[in-house]
Structure 1
Amino acid sequence: MQTHEIRRRFLDHFVKAGHTEVPSASVILDDPNLLFVNAGMVQFVPYFLGQRTPPFTRATSVQKCIRTPDIDEVGKTTRHNTFFQMAGNFSFGDYFKREAIEFAWDLLTKSVDDGGFGFDPERLWATVYLDDDEAAGLWQEIAGLPAERIQRRGMADNYWSMGIPGPCGPCSEIYFDRGPDYGVGGGPLANEDRYIEIWNLVFMENERGAGPAKEGYEILGPLPRKNIDTGMGIERVACLLQGVDNVYETDLVRPVIDTVAAVAPRGYGQGNHDDDVRYRIIADHSRTAAILIGDGVSPGNDGRGYVLRRLLRRIIRSARLLDITTPIVGDLMATVRDAMGPSYPELVNDFDRIHRIAVAEETAFNRTLASGSRLFEEAARTTKASGSTVLSGKDAFTLHDTYGFPLELTLEMAAEAGLSVDEDGFRSLMAEQRARAKADAAARKQAHADLSEYRELIDAGPTEFTGFDELNSEARILGIFVDGKRVPVVSRNGGPTPERIELILDRTPFYAEAGGQIADEGTISGTGSSATAKAAVVDVQKIAKTVFAHRVTVESGEFVEGDTVVAAVDPKWRKGATQGHSGTHLVHAALRQVLGPNAVQAGSLNRPGYLRFDFNWQGALSEDQRSQIEEVTNEAVQADYEVHHFTTRLEEAKAMGAMALFGEQYPDEVRVVEIGGPFSLELCGGTHVEHSAQVGPVTIIGESSVGSGVRRVEAYVGLDSFRHLAKERALMAGLASTLKVPTDEVPARVANLVERLRVAEKELEKMRLANSRAAAANAAAGAERVGKVRLVAQRMASGMSAGDLRTLVGDIKGRLGSDPAVIALIADGGDGSVPYVVAVNSAAQDLGLSAKDLVQTLGAPVQGRGGGKPDLAQGAGRKPAGIDAALAALRSELDRS
């Protein structure tokens, strides 16, 4: 049975049982604890926590999930994926254990002809929580499972929670016996390779307190209502129904392996375990990378971007270890698209962007591999020079941490160089890093924001937004919150100022921060007997995406729940905000016109007079491109296009070509903003000007990188743009006056001055080099015999840098010939620093001398620290008065040696 069919049968089964089919959410959700969605229930958390009333009592979904904590284990086991599809059915206070078990057993064991999966009932096992006699009895009653095929497990295995305070409850897992070929009998307690888990039924009935993630926490008491949350692993079921040994050989993953095998010198399944693991890593990570990019993630150095980068680099490294030397990532993305497209059409519709980002990261990482290879060669030379045949664990860790080299790649390169690797040292450093990361994650993990105080208002329905049509609205206060707690009244009473005061109104003209546009500012004032009440609105945020919370500073009087007030947006603020937001749309359209359709939005921010726009693009923009973008934008301003907005269905808007932000979740009904017909068409809920000319001049003030493959354009609009240009004009006039030339000749005169300065600096450098060589010759001529070596130990001219000293040391060393020699130069840096350099030639090293040791002797009197290699070391101190003592100490040390 094909995977797409497994998905369809699951959803149909539960839809027929009265469940609402809910589409998969993006793998990126606004959750304080999750980098990615890692379970099917995540998008329903507000319902389980009682923060929002669900629009249905039963739901079913197949959720895209990503789990990466054990990324290094991918490919080594038969059942783990970083990306997987979790099919689930959910009950919100409706049915409970009996129905959950009935639904699952019916679908698993019903014949294929009748719409089921056709599993043999005799090969299914169940586990239940230790004291869950009810679930054990239901398995016997409903499924006819004998007692010996129902095993009891403790809290770590069969009691589910989110790992933080919140809902929890016992669970029951369903396992399939793959047979004696896969290991010993005895059920899941004996062997989880033979008995593979395919479905987990969670009976969510309690609330847990703080404590460890899996066991040992306190059960606070029962939830107000009992819920059901289940998860069936699509890939694992596909593995069993398709009769393959592991999840990597199912119909949606095996094509990637075949794509790799077509170009790899060594095939898959040829008896080489390490090679098979590499094939599986490539197959697994290719799917995950495509899904991540499709949901709006770009490679980066932290957070989600770092995970994507790591996955892509593991693909490239694994391909290299299979001796694939040509680019392959583009073909892998195409294979994933073809396999996954029927279930995830966004992989098809957005393939050009997915392909471009993935291939760009492959190109960049190939350059990084070259840099890492140079570091390895240097580390190998140093290791051999020291007489060792073991590359240090620290060097191996640096290659892994900085350049992304896996240990196996370092081991292979080391073997080719005739070296081994301190694997224990490497693993020790890796363990330390993981411990730090785990501690950091635990420190950042927190309970979900408690929105229970807002529950009544959320359930009452969304705030009516009137700001598209008016800036002043009469409204009623529905709720007042002080530091998150609901109160009946708030006033300016001279007491301690609360950290946060929020007013919830039934309707409002204030725009709540969203879509890159920051919130409106203005006032909320009382009416009638409360006319003295006045508050400044400093921020507006949405709660549960529907209720507008006005964060205010009470300036006078008091506000009482139920009062009628007037909410007034500052018109100057709103005008500037609309200029900034409409300007963002114009810049976006201009970018796509100049750079092409691959310049896709990756984020934005706009406020009165200013905008910034992030977009996917490789490499900096040229001056010509920047000028063109600015010109196209201002041509649109001059054209005075009409700005229209209308509401339509999401699919219709996309069919019209309306641009959407990748990774953003949109409702079925969306608002479209159109500027100049085909010039700009975007999904947007923000406020805008009525004609493009109202944006005013747009001046691009900067273009920079904000991550791999993501660029940022910043610009001023309206009066702020004019002020910026006025400053630029004043600066140019000042330069023209100073240089005594017309303004149009300033660039040529400045270029002439820069060239003359460059020539002068070259002449100065020649003179300095000549002086340095003379100084080196004099120093070499003055070499003294100390102990067994010729010594040059001198205080050099004030102001010399460590680089200057290194250059001199090399020159002097060359003049002293092959006799044992030590050169030590030190100088007063002129800024309180004392740079110093020590060199020891080969003959002196043969006598047991080392620059790395001698630099410590030289540094002590000047309170310095340093280090280096046996032939050359350097350091810096902070006590110029100790320079003479430092040279004397060095002479004494050599005299004793």
Structure 2
Amino acid sequence: MDTAEVRRRFIAHFEARGHQAVPSASLLLDDPNLLFVNAGMVPFKPYFLGQVTPSYNRAVSIQKCVRTPDIEDVGKTTRHGTFFEMCGNFSFGDYFKEGAIEYAWELVTGSVDRGGFGFEESKLYPSVYEDDPEAVELWRKVTGLPDERIVRLGKKENYWSMGVPGPGGPCSEILIDRGPAYGADGDFGAEDRYLEFWNLVFMQDELSAVRSKEDFDIAGSLPKKNIDTGMGLERVALLLQGKDNMYEIDVMFPVIEKAQELTGRRYGKDHDDDVRFRVVADHIRSSMMLIADGVTPGNEARGYVLRRLLRRAVRSMRLLGCEDRVLPELMPVSRDKMGESYTALHSDWERISTVAFAEEDAFRQTLRTGTSIFDLAAQEAKAGGQTSLSGSKAFALHDTYGFPIDLTLEMAAEQGLQVDEGEFRRLMTEQRERAKADARAKKGQHASGGAYRTVADELGRAVQFTGYDEVVTEARVGGLIDAGGASVRSVGEGSEVELVLDRTPFYAEGGGQLADQGVVELGNGARVEILDVQSPITGLIVHQARVLSGEVTVGEPAHASVDIERRRSISRAHTATHMVHKAFREALGETATQAGSENAPGRFRFDFSATGAVPQSAMVDVEARVNDLVLADLAVHAEIMTQDEARKSGAMALFGEKYGDQVRVISVGDWARELCGGTHAGRSGQLGVIKLLGESSIGSGVRRVEALVGGDAYRFLAREHVLVAQLSEALKARPEELPERVNDLVERLRAAEKEIEKVRMAQILSAAGELAAGAKDVFGVGFVGHRVDGANAGDVRKLALDIRGRMAAGRPGVVAIIGSSNGKPAVVVTVNDEGRSWGISANALVKVAAQALGGSGGGKDDVAQGGGADLTHVDQALVDVEHAVGRAATAR
């Protein structure tokens, strides 16, 4: 049974039993605790937490998931990968344990002819939480299985929670016995033998404290009992297809087959190669699905994970022996298999492939650059008598150049060097901690979410956002979180606090739009300045604030006022972003899809997919197009509709954004239409003018345009006008003649610089003949040691080689020249053929000079160069080289 059929049967089974089929949510959700959706229930969390009331009591979904903590272990086990699909059926206060068990057992054991999976009952073992006798009785009742076939397990295996205070409950798994070849009889801890493929979570408890998976407090029962099911699609597929592991199922193994064709290696012959083949199959699929949901390669957070996955896939293919471009060969194979279920992989393939292939090209260049840098670092380590490459060097290669640590380790071993992995790991850990701290600072200081949930529970409902219709709102203080992360009842003057109102006009940062700022005045006379606004958990809007005067108390009435000028300025920028997005798609094609944005007061930046730099002509056309539509004064209006209605209307949904069943569509006239939750200008004419400042690359296949709007754009253009007038006056030329006049001046200046350089080099080299003729005799070796101030490394090299060429033939000769440029010395040592026949090496001599100068150097026996940091020891360095020449000559 192929994977698509497993999926179809799961959905059909539960639809026939009254469940609403819900499409998979994006892998990206606005949750401070999650980088990606990592479980099938994640999109339904607001329902389980009581923050949002669902429009249905039963649901079924096949949810895309990505888990990243163990990327380096992918392929080493046969059942874990980064991307996977979780089949789930959910009950929100409807059926509970008995219904969940019945539905699961019917599908799992039902005959294939009647839409079931057809698993043999004799191989199945339900597991239950050891303190849940009710579940034991229900399994007996529903299945008729004897007691010894129902396995009791502890909290670690069979109790579920989110890891934080909130809903939880015992769970019940369905295990399948794969036979003695996979482990001992009755050893239910051996997951290969008794493979779990279905998990029923009986969400019935309210947890007040969660200290670990097995250590928590139960405060009481939930007001509504819920069901959360997770069935691993890949695990069921491998069982029904008779495969040993998930990498061999129909949606993954074709990539391995293609990789075998490209590399000439065979899967199943060598363990290390098998791991690499699995890494390729997993990472190709995971990367493709992440790009499809709007992630682009980068150096932070989600972008870094994607970059790492793509580069590990390319690196694994290189280790398998293929050094050509591989993504154009492998990714279409994965697309064709996954595209059976996710048709957008085909319709959006041009954008997806552009991003992926550009990242591979960038990584190939990184490998070339990183290899050169590694070679230099290894050379320096060996020259210094070291047997190990420092962890800081390995970290710099990884962090700055994207050079994989496993490649550094491999190349170091080839050079007979070790790598200080301890230091490397420490630096990596410090970097991760800094990144986490930055994320916490951005989303609020308490990313664990415990304090937020406490406030949300006390509030009892989602915070109402009134900012679409008003900028002043009467509200009530619903919660306070102090600087230490605790929910408190009051705070005093001067305090930094996170303030929650029951309703607010302040827009929380999201969708690229910066947060509102303003003031909240309380009924007791207290005054609070709003500095930032975030939505750390669904349904909660949190104002990061400073108490200017008085005392702020929970329950106090509040008068909330948005900074209206800031709001208007940001709203104009947001509307301009929509217009520029549409204009770029018209100019460059449908692949120019937004990949990020920031809408700030009076300015915005807009990131979009592109294969290369945007032609200047396209920039001019886009700017003209949007400003024509500004002049047209188009109405900007918002509509609420279903997602299907929005798609039919031509509205564009941005990848990575979270949209509900009901969506808000912003239209600029009948021209630009997008799903958007932000605030906007009332008409395009209110934007005044849009000025594109320029575009640049911010990553593989992603360009960034920065622009000004309204008054900021006008002031910029006014400054430009003044500058043009000043240049026209200085050059005595009309404005339209300035480009030609400036170009002429630049060409003349370049010609003059070349002439000056020729004269300078002639002056430097003019002394070559005299220096060669005056070579000092050092035990039979002609030696020239000379200092040239104001000469860079290139100048020094030319002079040293010129002097060597002028020295008397048939006599050993050594030239050592030290120049100085920008306050630092540069040294070059050359030795002629006769000198090398005497055993004199430029490589050895340059190290003598560099040591005196406080630096390092190296090269070949005939020419070597180096540098240093101490100009005060130039004369001593020349003396040291002369002495070294003497020692070499007398030792001959």
Question: Is the structural similarity TM-score above 0.5?
Answer: yes
Higher alpha-carbon deviation: 721-730 or 481-490: 481-490
Letter in 2 for 1:518: L
Deviations 1:392-434 (A, max 9, x none): 99999999985767979998xx9xxxxx9549967x5667645
Q: 1:745 aligns with which of 737, 740, 744?
A: 737
Distance 1:625 1:574 in 2: 31
Gap runs ≥5 in structure 1: 415-419
Is contact 1:601–1:661 with CA below 8 Å preserved after alignment? yes
How far is the alpha carbon of 1:666 from its aligned partner?
0.7
Is contact 2:530–2:545 with CA below 8 Å preserved after alignment? yes
Residue 858 and residue 253 in structure 1: after superposition, are their counterparts in 2 closer, same or farther (change >3 A)?
Answer: closer
Is contact 2:814–2:835 with CA below 8 Å preserved after alignment? yes
Tell whether 2:817 aligns with 1:825: yes
Deviations 1:639-674 (A, max 9, x none): 222323322211111122212211111112222222
Aligned residue for 1:835, secondary structure, equals strand
Residue 525 and residue 687 in structure 1: after superposition, are their counterparts in 2 closer, same or farther (change >3 A)?
Answer: same
Is contact 1:393–1:422 with CA below 8 Å preserved after alignment? no
Who is 2:176 aligned against? Answer: 176
Higher alpha-carbon deviation: 705-714 or 880-889: 880-889
Aligned residue for 1:88, secondary structure, equals strand
Who is 1:463 aligned against? Answer: 464
Q: 1:500 aligns with which of 493, 497, 502?
A: 497
Tell whether 2:338 aligns with 1:340: yes
Tell whether 2:240 aligns with 1:241: yes
Who is 2:618 aligned against? Answer: 625
Residue 552 and residue 270 in structure 1: after superposition, are their counterparts in 2 closer, same or farther (change >3 A)?
Answer: closer
Residue 832 and residue 496 in structure 1: after superposition, are their counterparts in 2 closer, same or farther (change >3 A)?
Answer: farther
Is contact 2:395–2:424 with CA below 8 Å preserved after alignment? no
Scaled by the length of structure 1, the TM-score of the pair is: 0.82
Distance 1:334 1:9 in 2: 26
Task: Give 1:686-705 correspondences, 5 Å limit.
Answer: 686-705=678-697
Aligned residue for 1:500, secondary structure, equals strand
Q: 1:795 aligns with which of 787, 801, 825?
A: 787
Is contact 2:477–2:557 with CA below 8 Å preserved after alignment? no
Letter in 1 for 2:532: D
Who is 2:440 aligned against? Answer: none
CA RMSD of aligned residues (A): 4.6
Who is 2:880 aligned against? Answer: 889
Aligned residue for 1:450, secondary structure, equals helix
Who is 2:108 aligned against? Answer: 108
Distance 2:138 2:427 in 1: 44
Residue 781 and residue 622 in structure 1: after superposition, are their counterparts in 2 closer, same or farther (change >3 A)?
Answer: farther
Who is 2:857 aligned against? Answer: 867
Distance 2:350 2:232 in 1: 30
Task: Give 1:98-177 correspondences, 5 Å limit.
Answer: 104-125=104-125, 174-177=174-177
Distance 2:102 2:423 in 1: 47
Is contact 1:400–1:407 with CA below 8 Å preserved after alignment? no
Is contact 1:824–1:839 with CA below 8 Å preserved after alignment? yes
Residue 818 and residue 160 in structure 1: after superposition, are their counterparts in 2 closer, same or farther (change >3 A)?
Answer: farther
Tell whether 2:56 aligns with 1:63: no
Who is 2:511 aligned against? Answer: 515
Distance 2:377 2:532 in 1: 58
How far is the alpha carbon of 1:238 from its aligned partner?
0.6
Distance 1:497 1:713 in 2: 40
Higher alpha-carbon deviation: 681-690 or 434-443: 434-443
Distance 2:520 2:407 in 1: 64
Aligned residue for 1:625, secondary structure, equals helix
Letter in 1 for 2:855: R
Higher alpha-carbon deviation: 541-550 or 639-648: 541-550
Distance 1:525 1:559 in 2: 9
Is contact 1:51–1:452 with CA below 8 Å preserved after alignment? no
Distance 2:246 2:420 in 1: 32
Residue 183 and residue 649 in structure 1: after superposition, are their counterparts in 2 closer, same or farther (change >3 A)?
Answer: closer
Is contact 1:53–1:459 with CA below 8 Å preserved after alignment? no
Letter in 2 for 1:237: V
Letter in 2 for 1:593: E
Residue 520 and residue 321 in structure 1: after superposition, are their counterparts in 2 closer, same or farther (change >3 A)?
Answer: closer
How far is the alpha carbon of 1:889 from its aligned partner?
3.2
Residue 814 and residue 150 in structure 1: after superposition, are their counterparts in 2 closer, same or farther (change >3 A)?
Answer: farther
Deviations 1:470-522 (A, max 9, x none): 4444x2325252526666666xxxx651112525143x444333322223344
Is contact 1:51–1:450 with CA below 8 Å preserved after alignment? no
Q: 2:798 aligns with which of 804, 807, 829?
A: 807
Distance 1:255 1:601 in 2: 32
Higher alpha-carbon deviation: 335-344 or 124-133: 124-133
Task: Give 1:341-490 correspondences, 5 Å limit.
Answer: 341-368=339-366, 402=401, 421-422=413-414, 433=424, 436-437=427-428, 441=432, 444=436, 447-448=448-449, 450-456=451-457, 459-465=460-466, 467-473=467-473, 475-481=474-480, 483=482
Aligned residue for 2:460, secondary structure, equals helix
Residue 470 and residue 199 in structure 1: after superposition, are their counterparts in 2 closer, same or farther (change >3 A)?
Answer: closer
Is contact 1:476–1:565 with CA below 8 Å preserved after alignment? yes
Letter in 1 for 2:453: S
Aligned residue for 2:451, secondary structure, equals coil
How far is the alpha carbon of 1:294 from its aligned partner?
1.0
Is contact 1:393–1:421 with CA below 8 Å preserved after alignment? no
Deviations 1:795-845 (A, max 9, x none): 22x22223332333344445557865543322444x543333445667766
Residue 397 and residue 825 in structure 1: after superposition, are their counterparts in 2 closer, same or farther (change >3 A)?
Answer: same
Distance 1:155 1:810 in 2: 77
Distance 1:861 1:424 in 2: 29
Letter in 2 for 1:751: N
How far is the alpha carbon of 1:585 from its aligned partner?
1.8
Distance 2:113 2:848 in 1: 86
Deviations 1:714-750 (A, max 9, x none): 1111121111111111112222233343433333332
Is contact 2:478–2:502 with CA below 8 Å preserved after alignment? yes
Distance 1:57 1:440 in 2: 44
Who is 1:573 aligned against? Answer: 566
Who is 1:298 aligned against? Answer: 296
Who is 1:417 aligned against? Answer: none
Aligned residues: 866
Is contact 1:586–1:680 with CA below 8 Å preserved after alignment? yes
Scaled by the length of structure 2, the TM-score of the pair is: 0.83
Aligned residue for 2:660, secondary structure, equals coil
Tell whether 2:666 aligns with 1:666: no
Tell whether 2:79 aligns with 1:79: yes
Tell whether 2:759 aligns with 1:767: yes
Deviations 1:506-552 (A, max 9, x none): 3x44433332222334444567xx6x565444434346443444455
Is contact 1:697–1:722 with CA below 8 Å preserved after alignment? yes
How far is the alpha carbon of 1:761 from its aligned partner?
0.9
Is contact 1:50–1:452 with CA below 8 Å preserved after alignment? no
Aligned residue for 2:696, secondary structure, equals strand
Residue 856 and residue 173 in structure 1: after superposition, are their counterparts in 2 closer, same or farther (change >3 A)?
Answer: farther
Deviations 1:12-50 (A, max 9, x none): 555667766544332222344443223334345566678
How far is the alpha carbon of 1:327 from its aligned partner?
5.7
Is contact 2:815–2:831 with CA below 8 Å preserved after alignment? yes
Aligned residue for 2:455, secondary structure, equals helix
Distance 1:124 1:151 in 2: 11
Higher alpha-carbon deviation: 549-558 or 622-631: 549-558
Deviations 1:583-602 (A, max 9, x none): 22221122122212111111
Letter in 2 for 1:637: V
Distance 2:9 2:883 in 1: 87
How far is the alpha carbon of 1:146 from its aligned partner?
6.9
Is contact 1:590–1:633 with CA below 8 Å preserved after alignment? yes
Distance 2:76 2:281 in 1: 13
Deviations 1:277-303 (A, max 9, x none): 555444333321221111101122343
Distance 1:533 1:392 in 2: 60
